[in-house]
Amino acid sequence: MSFILLGILNSQAAGGAAGGIAGYVAGGEQATTQVNKFAFPSDSRSTLGTGLSVGRFAFSPFANSGVAGYAAGGGSGAGNSSVDKFAFPSDTRSTLVATLSTNSQRNGGMANSGVAGYASNVGYPSTTVNKFLFSNDSRSTLGTGLSASKEYSVGMANSGVAGYFGGGRTTVNVATVDKFAFPSDSRSTLGTGLSEARGSQPGGMANSGVAGYYGGGRNASAVDVSSVDKFAFPSDSRSTLATGLSSNRRELCGMANSGIAGYFAGGNGPVSTVDKYSFVDDSRSTLGTGLATAVTLPGAFANEAL
């Protein structure tokens, strides 16, 4: 799920950002074509007049900030392979000619903004990672995929440097974090993974240039958790926030306004809750206005460009 979305322009990653424009929380099992838009920094919410082209949940979200956000795959059964594109700032929607390499759901997403977006474990469970070039929206498949065949692997990114797919489920829920270096897309696996297994779609988001976060999900004992792990860039050292999510939950999504705040939205229940973490001190608040509809398995991306 998600976000990035999770990538921003390289100038922002270097710390020059004063804040982005808007974050989007889309789909979910209960409102499958609905797209919520949260204006930054007010967090005021609106709902796009044109939603997703098809019902999508457990899909790959990613964004080319300043240009467009994408929603790939997702939906019931084996999911689908189509990819919706929302142009910024008009939010007009088109559907790409290129598709995922196979029908899929329970797949993650992240982006190297300005360059490419990535969809993980396509054709779940699998190791397949699809890459969409933002210059022409063409799709390829990485020669080296995930380190293990899985579903529900969730992405976040340090744009311009590396993208990460963490957690998910093989035959059990796992704590593994794979790292893909930009622009080579070479893969390594972090020596220190998540603090606990995070399957059943945790949320992922990043303060690009500073740190990435994974929150919630289901642990190895099949118990939903509220903890939030933080990976410092570029060392990838991990800590766990003193304040977790406002409730134990899985099947949520994440997005970020790099330099300002990150958000974890939706989840099993279903819920309409949106938790907000200030990047100044990682303190948590909960938005007074949540999602328009309570949803499980939504996806999120953000337009972080000024």
Tens digits of pLDDT across the chain (306 residues):
333 333 333 333 333 445 799 999 999 998 789 999 999 999 999 999 999 999 999 999 999 999 999 999 999 888 999 999 999 999 999 999 999 999 999 999 999 999 999 999 999 999 999 999 999 999 999 999 999 999 999 999 999 999 999 999 999 999 999 999 999 999 999 999 999 999 999 999 999 999 999 999 999 999 999 999 999 999 999 999 999 999 999 999 999 999 999 999 999 999 999 999 999 999 999 999 999 999 999 999 999 975
| Angle, vertex CA 79, rays to CA 75 and CA 80, nearest 5 | 105
Class of the CATH domain delimited by 10-303: mainly beta
Q: What is the pLDDT of residue 30?
A: 87
pTM for this structure?
A: 0.93
In sequence order, which residues have a C-beta less than 8 Å from that of residue 164 and are 6 or more positions away? 110, 155, 156, 157, 158, 177, 178, 179, 180, 190, 204, 212, 231
Give pLDDT, residue 68: 98
